[in-house]
A and B are shown apart, each in its own frame.
Chain A
């Protein structure tokens, strides 16, 4: 199953609801394009909802890191929401869990962005 992205806005924050797999050649390009589109439209506060991500490989992890640095370098913020246990464990193993700002509640995540 390839990755799908749905975009919505809440209180000035762009939420990308991702579902499927973030892997080499499947989701990794999709996520890159989605973040690029959001930045091109002038928004740089992005919340990636990973609640429906069933699988992620090292390419997918790399793509999350690249998205994080791209948004940060543009002066914005990128946060992660609703990690599954698999994704949570991978971020722990790769020591990226503390790099990302990870939230498990959408309302809390929205209010945590710099106004």
Chain B
């Protein structure tokens, strides 16, 4: 079971939609290998995609000189994904609540909300410049093979 309980990979990618798709696909592969069920894997993949979109679009603004770093780690009890950009920084306290009546019909602003909805823990770290999002989904004992 060692292969399924400890895996790690890191990618440095350019600020493009292709990178978003690649990060999403890797996230889906890690979630599947970590043993999450068929309902949870797409949720994790979507959370990873939203974090990647946030980094490429809102962080780096598609700047070809800036990169996105995505790392994936499966431990005995969790799947941990870290995605960082080189943008101006993101203050999570200043993100409008997309469920508030005044925001419900906005055409954007739901990405971070969906990440939080689908993951067990979401942490923000300022990198000066940039932001690192850490997404954590806990594994059950059956998923971790213990």
Contact = CB atoms under 8 A, between A and B. Distances in A.
B33 interface: no
B110 A58 contact: yes
B102 to A, nearest CB: 13
Contact of A57 (B53, B106, B113): B53
Interface size class of A (residues with CB under 8 A): 20 to 34
A57 B111 CA distance: 8
Contacts of B114: 58, 90, 93-94
A24 B109 CA distance: 13
Interface string B10-48: 000000010010000000000000000000001000100
A99 B104 contact: yes
Interface stretch (A9-17, A33-41, A61-69, A103-111): A61-69
Interface SS of chain B: helix, strand, loop or mixed? helix
Contacts of A61: 110
Contact of B57 (A24, A62, A69, A99): A24
Interface residues of B, number: 21
Interface string B102-146: 001111111101100100000000000000000000000000000
A95 interface: yes
Interface of B: 17, 20, 42, 46, 49-50, 53, 57, 98-99, 104-111, 113-114, 117
Interface of A: 23-26, 57-59, 61-63, 65-66, 68-69, 86, 90, 93-96, 99
30 contacts: A24-B17, A24-B53, A24-B57, A25-B17, A57-B49, A57-B50, A57-B53, A58-B50, A58-B53, A58-B110, A58-B111, A58-B113, A58-B114, A61-B110, A62-B106, A62-B108, A63-B107, A65-B105, A65-B107, A69-B105, A93-B114, A93-B117, A94-B98, A94-B99, A94-B110, A94-B114, A95-B104, A96-B104, A99-B104, A99-B105
